[in-house]
Structure 1
């Protein structure tokens, strides 16, 4: 077995192990919390017998080890359980809000990676100048600033002061979209989408910008760049056509990591902007003690993050064989 296959199998096993550990922690986290897990579901007027029937209905009357095996058996079948609060399957509830999270994530990534890639080219071009210093300081600041704080600043400026964009939700009050296609062709939807997308993009911007700058600095020392300069080409053309094209591939690969970061960042941003997505659903489920729904949302977010990191590792190993040779 060659090094590439060993690396692939090793990373796949690590990914599966990580997912198993996360799912196990979530199982015990909700079930070992103080109080009755059905406290928000059981009416105070219920008799003892009615409460026991509900526990049997949700499988909570069984020993913990039996619940654990049932839980993983359902996971393998794609069954995330039944919501206590909504009284329907977790899959169907997540399916209703997941498109909103995907839209937010997609537009944020587009903004972050377009601006980040071009910004990285600019900082590499202006190496050693005040422009580079200021750009790096701003990038590190936005990367480390709390997302909820950035969201509140964006809201205060664009929504409350300038009143250019709505402050919350996915549509104007009273508006109902008949389908996802109807939503995507609505100008009001994009007006509501812009501010949360901008906030998440500000957080994601640092990775492509700093990575592109680093790659550009490496590429700018290559012979083909010197040859382009000897031909008398303009500097901006050398930067974009020759250096940037060769430096951009690892940045594109890093987008897999960006997807993982964005799905995690959605939890905070969706709540700041009252965006009806997976992150907001998760917080509401925890507040309502609806642990099957909270478990399902947690598992889906964790699975996306872990899977995207796995894909990024594999892509890096393909682009740079030294990654596998060091294993």
Structure 2
């Protein structure tokens, strides 16, 4: 309990540091977001000084001292206000994130889970059957695909499977030209799946080798441990030794990496969403930086920070559940 309390205090302090950095970084960027927004309003006539000040107040851009702005920002966070998005005006940041997160979590989240599970299982089997055809073929082949820059892999798959053969759609999250609207209907869900298969496959192909090799190396080390030899000497089945003794301990480093990857899922895969023109948090982050949208940048980074901290905290709990030695040391 004492260890858990210390970890909670650490994560609260880390969250405060993340919020502070999140406030400072966008304000170090050159340019004025309000002037950038006014410039985009071509043909709207000249705005009076009062109108400009009203826009600045609405977007939360203040001329107050830096420290005053900081405490105003903290106060808004406490009240659940993330501000108004300049690039999606008049929507607030919460509404923008609510519309983006399902797309990002549905695509990048599911693809990351599939990649982790597939890579971990392959790593277990390959390490258990060292020297087999699977070991000599699967590992080099998957490593080759993971070595290809993601951008080129995505463009190659688009060209071959979407442009040349038309097996998959070229972009967007669903078919926007056939009159389909976002709703819980079979047509919409089928369209979403069709548009997600190619970008999801690209994520899996480019990342599964990393999980496989990490698990394979950890398993090779674990198989030489005394408790594995003891389990075999007891006459336990090969499957039980592989899963309950070897894989259970070897998977711990992969869990840490997986928790980190889940944190990045909230930020989305910027390259994925840009190459495939897929709606989501990553693509909106790119647009927010381009439009100097402080509120949206801060809101996205805040979600990423919270997700990273939560994922790391859950990974520590998973460590204690999977490894009795950790429980005894930290109890």
Whether the TM-score (by the shorter chain) exceeds 0.5 is yes
- How far is the alpha carbon of 1:148 from its aligned partner? 2.4
Deviation at 1:32, TM superposition (A): 2.9
Partner of 1:83 in structure 2? 85
SS at match of 2:163: helix
After TM superposition, the structure 1 stretch with the greater mean CA deviation from structure 2, 178-187 or 153-162, is 178-187
Using structure 2 for the length normalisation, give the TM-score.
0.81
1:164-213 CA-to-partner distances (Å, cap 9, x unmatched) read: 21121111232455555227963221111111111222344245423432
- 1:40 pairs, out of 20, 36, 43, with 36
Separation in structure 2 between the aligned mates of residue 323 and residue 139 of structure 1, nearest angstrom: 33
Deviations along 1:4-39, one digit per CA (max 9) or x if unpaired, are 632x33333333333333322232222232222212
Paired residue for 2:54? 53
Q: Distance in 1 between matches of 2:187 and 2:233?
A: 47
Partner of 2:299 in structure 1? 296
Query: Does the 8 A contact of 2:223 with 2:246 survive in 1?
Result: yes
Q: Tell me the distance in 2 between the aligned counterparts of 1:294 and 1:36.
A: 14
1:11 counterpart residue number = 7
2:71 counterpart SS class: helix
The 1:245/1:194 distance shift into structure 2, 3 A limit, reads farther
Is the Cα contact below 8 Å between 2:124 and 2:216 reproduced in 1? yes
- Kept after mapping to 2: 8 A contact 1:112/1:205: yes
Instruction: Tell me by how many angstroms 1:277 deviates.
Output: 1.0
Matched residue count: 315
Mapped to 1, the partners of 2:137 and 2:10 lie a distance apart of 39
Alpha-carbon displacement from aligned partner over 1:64-97 (angstroms, at most 9, x marks no partner): 2111111112122322111123222110111012
Q: Does 1:243 align with 2:239?
A: no
Look up the match of 1:256.
259
Are the structure 2 counterparts of residues 142 and 167 from structure 1 closer, same or farther at C-alpha, using a change threshold of 3 Å?
A: same
Distance in structure 2 (CA, Å) of the matches to 1:200 and 1:110: 11
SS at match of 2:158: helix
| Distance change (3 Å), C-alpha of 1:108 and 1:187 | same
1:66 matches 2:86: no
Q: Secondary structure at the match of 1:61?
A: coil
Residue in structure 1 matched with residue 273 of structure 2 by the alignment: 270
TM-score by length of 1: 0.82
Structure 2 residues not aligned, in runs of 5+: none
Q: 3-state SS of the aligned residue for 2:37? A: coil
CA distance in 2, matches of 1:258, 1:228: 38
- State whether residues 262 and 308 of structure 2, in contact with CA within 8 Å, keep that contact through their aligned partners in structure 1: yes
Structure 1 vs Structure 2 CA RMSD:
3.1
Q: Which residue of 1 aligns with 2:174?
A: 171
